[in-house]
Chain A
Amino acid sequence: MSPGYVPRSPTCPCAVSSDLLLSLFWELASLFGRCAAARSQGPVRFELVSRVQQWVVLAQAIGRIDLVCLGLAFLGALITLFGTRHRPPPLYQPTCALHANKNQASNGAISHRECSVQLWADNVYMVPPFLAYYGVVTNNKTVVEEAYNQIKWYREILQDSSTKLWKHMSHSFEAKDDGLWATGNAWVVAGAARVIATIQGSSFASEMSSEINDLKTWAGEIFNASKDHITKDGLLRNYITNSSTFEDSSATALMASAGFRFSTMNITNEYVDMSLTMLAGASSNVNSTGYLNKVTDPMAFVSEGTYSPEGQSFIILAYAAYNDWDAAGKPGNTHDKSDPLSGNSAAPRVFSAAAPILAALAGSLAYVLA
């Protein structure tokens, strides 16, 4: 902790929505293929700008997001980013050995907490993608490898040996949850997808193919273990294997988004089918005002909440991924050809492509009224 560090309430909108913001940003700025295209400038830039505008509208969908956090300056920055010929000065390159404990045959997982050593599955979406991106931007393979190692080490400790699903947290005095939390598992597969996307889009892609393969395998463990526990409504339960816990459309949407990404990244189409089922299931819980209902309370992970900023962003992520998958020609589709979200999916289809738009409209209204 640094001097002047003042712990702030976790209800600070920016703290709560930081994952969300990154989620939104991710769609624009990750290495999921669009950045590479955008660098070529030309008409692609206009497509990108229109996508940014879409996201600005969608950002308003999130009731608790402060629009200041994602405004027009952001749009301008992206135009600058992809239009500029100047490059910033190089970032600091770590010169020390990365691991103080590198000679130990041990696990070097970085704690999710500052005051104790505690691993949270959530971390896989938050830290390794930053490490990977930093490593790629600075052309520092060691930092990219650190992203991979962190996921490897987190898995060593958090994975449940019998189900292969991940526990939410390791033990610490700060918090406690041994459960196979759906959102935690969804964070992991989505985080792995982000790291894969970043490596794939970098100059390290070929030399790190075995790392990509491991990440694919580890995410696959979670997908496959979750598949059998999807309810007849097309949803994951808050604790995936515990049938007494409520159905959570929030985690379901995030896991679905990752399943589509694995397809659009040309990794595997194996999870398309379950992702269609899950997205259809989550969509059926988008209510008439555009809010995703039946969600985990983001401030109390064992409880069911009414609304969730995370859930809103997850359903948007899921539809963004679905749209890319759709545009790629629906690879691996075994559902209804013209409308994969209806047909033989487990859940009735209430909203499909209209859901994020409705969510955006409802969110705008909520924002204005607030």
Chain B
Amino acid sequence: MEIANDAMDQRPAPKNTTQATTTTTAAPTETTTDGGDGNAQRRRKRQAATSSLPATTGSHTTTSSSSKATETCATTPAQKNPQLPPGSPLVPAAGAAGDPPSLGIPVLLANKATNGGTRNHSTYGDAAASQLNFLLYHVPRVRTTQSHLSVRGLQ
């Protein structure tokens, strides 16, 4: 819990756009299969419909005016694409995209332990989801040409 809280406390303050209410089409489907009672099922569904999903647009207008480091980074289609869900690392890590996710499992457990609790203006679940989105959609990936370059460079 302290691990998770320490991570949460280091998160940048959430932007207003991430609090945007979601449209019904963007609401996640109920896929939890663990054996809860009917009330729990209904509660989960209600929360799913009203929870603050990451907004699909808007936050990147503020990104463009953020740190200069962003401008010097290699940009990727994902980072430029407002269609993709915004995400952010759990903690600042000096450009190491792979390090903050190692705190993700404690945060996921904290989410469960607190029954979806909030810390530093964000729920643990949202923080973990934001970390996931950051990894999946915003951290650059090897692509065909880069892959060849990388492999050639290594041989």
Residues on A facing B (Cβ under 8 Å): 1-10, 14-15, 18-19, 21-22, 25-26, 29-30, 68-71, 73-74, 76-78, 80-81, 84, 86-96, 98-101, 104-117, 119-120, 122-123, 125-127, 129-131, 133-134, 137-140, 143, 146, 153, 157-158, 167, 170-171, 174, 178, 203
Q: Which residues of A contact B5 (CB under 8 A)?
A: 73
Beta-carbon contacts under 8 Å, B110-155 to A: 110-117, 124-126, 128-129, 131-133, 135-137, 139-144, 146-147, 149-151, 153-154
CB-CB under 8 A from B115, the residues of chain A are 84, 86-88
Are A130 and B92 interface neighbours, CB within 8 A?
no
Q: Which residues of B73-91 are within 8 A (CB) of A?
A: 73-74, 77-78, 81, 83-86, 88-89, 91
Determine the distance from Cα of A107 to Cα of B102 in the docked complex, in whole angstroms. 22
In the assembled complex, the Cα of A6 lies from the Cα of B28 at a distance in Å of 32
Q: Which residue of B lies closest to A158 (CB)?
A: B154
Known: A109-B141, A130-B104. A91 touches B129 (CB 8 A): yes
Check if A81 sits within 8 Å of B67, measured CB to CB.
no
Interface of A, helix, strand, loop or mixed by DSSP: loop
Q: Is residue B24 within 8 Å, beta carbon to beta carbon, of the partner chain?
A: no
Whether B135 contacts A100 by the Cβ 8 Å rule is no
Nearest-Cβ distance from residue B124 to partner chain A, whole angstroms:
8
Kindly report which residue of chain A lies nearest to residue B108, judged by CB atoms. A137
CB of A5 within 8 A of CB of B88, answer: yes
- Interface Cβ pair total, 8 Å cutoff: 297
Known: A14-B91, A81-B109. A112 touches B66 (CB 8 A): no
A245 to B128, CA, bound (A): 40
- When the two chains form their complex, are residues B154 and A178 in contact, meaning their CB atoms are under 8 A apart? yes
Question: Which residue, A2, A14, A29, A129, has most C-beta atoms of chain B within 10 A?
Answer: A2
Question: Would you give the shortest CB distance from B131 to chain A, in whole angstroms?
Answer: 8
Residues of the A chain whose Cβ atoms lie less than 8 Å from the Cβ of B102: 18-19, 22, 125-127, 129-130
* Residues A115 and B132 in contact, CB atoms below 8 Å apart: no
A116 and B140 in contact (CB under 8 A), knowing A69-B6, A94-B85, A127-B135? yes
Cβ of B98 within 8 Å of any chain A Cβ, yes or no, is yes
How many chain B residues sit at the interface, stated as a range, is: 35 or more
Which residue of A5, A104, A107, A123 contacts B98 across the interface (Cβ within 8 Å)? A123
Task: Kindly identify which residue among A68, A70, A123, A171 contacts B154, using a CB–CB cutoff of 8 Å.
Answer: A171
Residue of B with least CB distance to A133: B105
With contacts A2-B63, A9-B94, A100-B77 known, is A92 near B1, CB below 8 A? no
Q: Does B12 contact A (CB under 8 A)?
A: yes
Q: Complex Cα distance A122/B99, Å? A: 9
6 additional contacts (CB under 8 A) given A92-B51, A104-B143 = A71-B2, A78-B113, A88-B124, A105-B144, A107-B143, A157-B142
CB-CB < 8 A to A140: which residues of B? 31
Question: CB < 8 Å: which of A3, A134, A139 contacts B65?
Answer: A3
Note all chain B residues with C-beta closer than 8 A to A78: 1, 113
Please give, as numbers and ranges, the residues of chain B lying within 8 Å of A86 by CB-CB distance.
40, 115
Which of A7, A26, A130 counts the most chain B CB atoms within 10 A?
A130
What are 17 pairs between A and B in contact, CB < 8 Å?
A1-B73, A7-B69, A15-B93, A15-B99, A22-B102, A25-B105, A73-B1, A80-B114, A89-B44, A89-B116, A90-B28, A90-B31, A91-B125, A91-B129, A92-B129, A117-B142, A167-B154
Contact of B3 among A69, A105, A110, A158 (CB under 8 A): A69
A111 to B129, CA, bound (A): 19
Minimal beta-carbon separation of B47 from chain A (angstroms): 4
Contact (Cβ within 8 A) B12 A88:
no
Residues of B within 8 A of A30 (CB): 105
B48 contacts A90, CB within 8 Å? Answer: yes
Contact A88 B112 (CB under 8 A): yes
Q: Which residues of A contact B28 (CB under 8 A)?
A: 90, 92-93, 95
Q: Is the CB of B97 within 8 A of A90?
A: no
Contacting residue for A106 out of B40, B94, B142, CB 8 A: B142
**Beta-carbon contact of A115 and B98 below 8 Å:** no
Contact between B66 and A157, CB atoms less than 8 A apart: no
Which B residues touch A2, using CB under 8 A? 12, 15, 63, 66, 86, 88-89
